[in-house]
Amino acid sequence: MARDWGRVWVIGTSLLISFISFSSQIFVVWPWYGREISVDLLKLLIPFNFCVFMVFWNYRLCIITPPGGVPQGYRPDLNAVEGLEVKKGNHAPRYCKTCEHYKPPRAHHCRSCKTCVLKLDHHCPWIANCVGFHNQGHFLRFLLWVDIATSFHIVMVVQRVLFISYKQYEEPTLSDVLFIVFNFAACVPVWLCVGMFSIYHVYLACGNSTTIEGWEKDKVATLVRRGKIKEIKYPYNIGVYKNIKSVLGPNPILWLWPQPMRGDGLSFPVNPDAGDPVIQYSWPPKDPGQIPNPRPLPSATSAFIYGNEGFNPNLRPSNSHLRARSTHNPTEGEETYSSGEDRDYESFSESSRSSSPEIYLSDYDEHNDGPLAGQRLPRMRRGSEGWEVRSAAGSWADHMRDIEGRGGANSRRPWEEEGRYNYYIPDE
């Protein structure tokens, strides 16, 4: 169904070009020159028909030239920097799940064509094809030749109108007036719309960019303006002259003449001023807040980190904190808790932070007069199934056993001391 609509668009575009090109010559110019072949008529129509021929030739090349697909079995060289562009989520090479193959730099998947296209610019319904690496030059030449031909057409029809206005004794026929109006109505909108479209694509070619990459640069500029990422340079801008040569060919004299694209579309020269090659080929940078899986840390980095490769400023190392509060020194042979993973907090600086939480402190511990005063508090570590707590010497249970052993049943517990708590005794 989509292919049928593509044929309709192509046929309609061809008919529009043909109407503007030939109706003006047959019904406007030919009667103007008395329906006789002359040198002046040939000087006018030969250049115009050459422009029309170039329009049709480049339009045909846009339709029949494949934009470029990913080669069968393409795999990026993971050991080389050039040509490697990584996926932002898991930092693996870019992979298309629909086509089930790796994607080279600047390649994107087209939903209309249902395939990945090298250096995809956009899908154009007027040519029923994608504008990609191999037909981008043909598409740009087509737009430029349409601008030249329509400008020639408008000038030619305007001269005919001026001739009628000056020669008032020669009254124009009805067909002359109708076809002049029809040609203006058909050509002027095409001249304006295609002209603006051409200016935009010439601007993209000067910056060695595509329509998709233009949107990407706008998003990157927004992220930089909001302070989410540092300013980054577009990596494929290698200078205006070289940028245009990469699209229209190496010889400026032949830029408007149809010629095949040079290169394979799998790798592109980059600007050395853009920064590190890895940054160049990871274009465009993604919003840090939308990265589902941050970049893995180097192997030498400590596991106890928080956020931007630093320690959590809101948490303190529990062992060092407790060591500072405790005056208890374990006796020789006393068992101490070991997690199996030595966590030497003394190796950290004073500003270091841990992912361990603070020990809960009761009102006894807050005033340093509770049962654990002057003793070592339980040690904690984060295990695979949650927080693990190990009771140390001088625990609350040991203290209660000492109280009950010394005073028996009549001994008063700490929370029963007068003045420490207020009790509510319901009426019987």
Q: Answer yes or no: is pLDDT of 366 > 80.
A: no
When mean pLDDT is compared across 35-44, 190-199, 285-294, the lowest value belongs to 285-294
Please indicate, yes or no, whether residues 147 and 240 belong to a single structural domain of this protein. yes
Q: Mean pLDDT over residues 389-398, rounded?
A: 54
What is the per-residue pLDDT for 269? 83
Asked if residue 334 is part of any domain, the answer here is no
What is the per-residue pLDDT for 25? 92
Q: Could you list the residue range(s) of the whole structural domain that residue 308 is in?
A: 297-327+345-354
Give CA torsion, residues 193, 197, 198, 204, to 10 deg: 170
Q: Answer yes or no: is pLDDT of 307 > 70.
A: no
Please indicate, yes or no, whether residues 197 and 316 belong to a single structural domain of this protein. no
Catalytic residues: 124
Q: Answer yes or no: is pLDDT of 428 > 60.
A: no
Q: Mean pLDDT over residues 148-164, rounded?
A: 93
Q: Answer yes or no: is pLDDT of 107 > 70.
A: yes
CB contact at 8 A, 317 and 348: yes
Please indicate, yes or no, whether residues 214 and 313 belong to a single structural domain of this protein. no
Asked if residue 267 is part of any domain, the answer here is yes
Q: Mean pLDDT over residues 289-298, rounded?
A: 58
Asked if residue 71 is part of any domain, the answer here is yes
Output the average pLDDT for the chain.
Answer: 75
Please indicate, yes or no, whether residues 206 and 78 belong to a single structural domain of this protein. yes
Asked if residue 423 is part of any domain, the answer here is no
More confident residue, 6 or 387: 6
Please indicate, yes or no, whether residues 164 and 177 belong to a single structural domain of this protein. yes
CB contact at 8 A, 354 and 345: yes
For residue 190, what are the contacts with CB-CB under 8 A and spacing of at least 6?
16, 20, 146, 150
Asked if residue 426 is part of any domain, the answer here is no
Please indicate, yes or no, whether residues 234 and 193 belong to a single structural domain of this protein. yes
CB contact at 8 A, 233 and 273: yes
More confident residue, 18 or 269: 18
Please indicate, yes or no, whether residues 105 and 177 belong to a single structural domain of this protein. yes
Please indicate, yes or no, whether residues 46 and 195 belong to a single structural domain of this protein. yes
Interatomic CA distance for residues 353 and 227, integer angstroms:
26
Please indicate, yes or no, whether residues 243 and 133 belong to a single structural domain of this protein. yes
Please indicate, yes or no, whether residues 305 and 274 belong to a single structural domain of this protein. no
Residue 368's pLDDT band, with cuts at 50, 70 and 90, is very low
What is the per-residue pLDDT for 298? 53
Please indicate, yes or no, whether residues 246 and 302 belong to a single structural domain of this protein. no
Domain count, the chain: 3
Asked if residue 408 is part of any domain, the answer here is yes
Interatomic CA distance for residues 426 and 172, integer angstroms:
114
What is the per-residue pLDDT for 333? 45
What is the per-residue pLDDT for 90? 45
User: Among residues of the chain, what percentage have pLDDT more than 90?
Assistant: 35
Please indicate, yes or no, whether residues 273 and 301 belong to a single structural domain of this protein. no
Asked if residue 292 is part of any domain, the answer here is no
Interatomic CA distance for residues 391 and 264, integer angstroms:
68
Interatomic CA distance for residues 420 and 417, integer angstroms:
6
CB contact at 8 A, 99 and 109: yes
Asked if residue 427 is part of any domain, the answer here is no
